[in-house]
Copies of this chain bind each other. A is one copy, B any other.
Amino acid sequence: MSAEPDLVALLPIIDHQPRNPALFFQALTHGSTGISPDYQRLEFLGDRVLGMVIAELLYTRFPKAAEGQMSAFLNRLVSRESCAEIARTCKLGPLIRLGKQARDDGGAGSTNILGDVVEALIGALYVDGGLDAARAFIERHWADRIGAISEAPRHPKSELQEWAAARNRKTPVYTLLRKSGPDHDLRFTVQVEIKGLGSAEATGTSKQEAETLAAKQFLAEHGR
């Protein structure tokens, strides 16, 4: 088992003076150590704190965005992968307490564990310093990602994929329905379907263009 986590190294990451340091030890403790409590309860709480704070940031920052678009943004921002990338940027891995086997297996670099620990730290900040402490951490570490969203309009196919994921649906399926027109001026008609949600069709001068237009059409018909 690893030594006591290094709270001094954690301070610049959380930018908060812990009232109850035990909460932050707990947030850095993986179940494989056998130490109880591990980070799971804090991760449960932190996951919901993160969701709410990101929802609020999106609500405020994109006053005209439809609910579907905000959901897609939110799912991307709070994904395990996003949380793990933030953990890597902060170099959190070496601070996590792992059992020997989990450490030998590379647990300190695992996307699941890194993502969990970021959420657990948010939970610890919420319990220790209230919503303001948690929000300050999230605003600081998510600022670049939220900034990038507003500047990069997404490809309609990516947007539709996220739209479906936000509704717990399967990935959109594109089917070429027909090619028409003379060889020098072909037209491709594509259908996109999301099982249980509906379908849309569009025609373009290439298969790729028809797919893009069909995704746009789907979003227009079924609401973003």
Q: Which residues of A contact B (CB under 8 A)?
A: 40-41, 43-45, 47-49, 51-52, 54-56, 59, 65-67, 70-71, 74, 126-127, 131, 168
From B44, B52, B54, B67, contact of A67 by CB (8 A)? B44
B41 touches A70 (CB 8 A): yes
B45 touches A48 (CB 8 A): no
Q: How many copies of this kind of chain does the complex include?
A: 2
29 sample A-B contacts, Cβ–Cβ < 8 Å, listed by A number: A40-B66, A40-B67, A41-B59, A41-B65, A41-B66, A41-B67, A41-B70, A43-B67, A44-B55, A44-B59, A44-B67, A44-B70, A44-B71, A45-B56, A45-B59, A47-B55, A48-B48, A48-B51, A48-B52, A48-B54, A48-B55, A48-B56, A48-B74, A49-B52, A51-B51, A51-B52, A59-B127, A131-B131, A168-B168
Kindly report which residue of chain B lies nearest to residue A38, judged by CB atoms.
B67
- Cβ of A74: which chain B residues have Cβ within 8 Å of it? 48
Query: What 5 new A-B contacts, CB under 8 Å, besides A48-B56, A51-B51, A59-B127?
Result: A40-B66, A41-B67, A48-B48, A52-B52, A131-B131
Q: How far is the CA of A55 from the CA of B70 in the complex (A)?
A: 22
- Cβ of A65: which chain B residues have Cβ within 8 Å of it? 41
- The list of the 7 closest CB pairs from A to B, nearest first, reads A40-B67, A48-B55, A52-B52, A48-B52, A44-B67, A48-B51, A45-B59
- Cβ of A168: which chain B residues have Cβ within 8 Å of it? 168
- Cβ of A55: which chain B residues have Cβ within 8 Å of it? 44-45, 47-49
- Cβ of A44: which chain B residues have Cβ within 8 Å of it? 55, 59, 67, 70-71
CB A25 to nearest CB in B, in angstroms, measures 17
Kindly report which residue of chain B lies nearest to residue A51, judged by CB atoms.
B48
Kindly report which residue of chain B lies nearest to residue A54, judged by CB atoms.
B48
- Cβ of A56: which chain B residues have Cβ within 8 Å of it? 45, 48, 126
Q: How far is the CA of A168 from the CA of B40 in the complex (A)?
A: 18
CB A152 to nearest CB in B, in angstroms, measures 21
Q: How far is the CA of A55 from the CA of B52 in the complex (A)?
A: 11
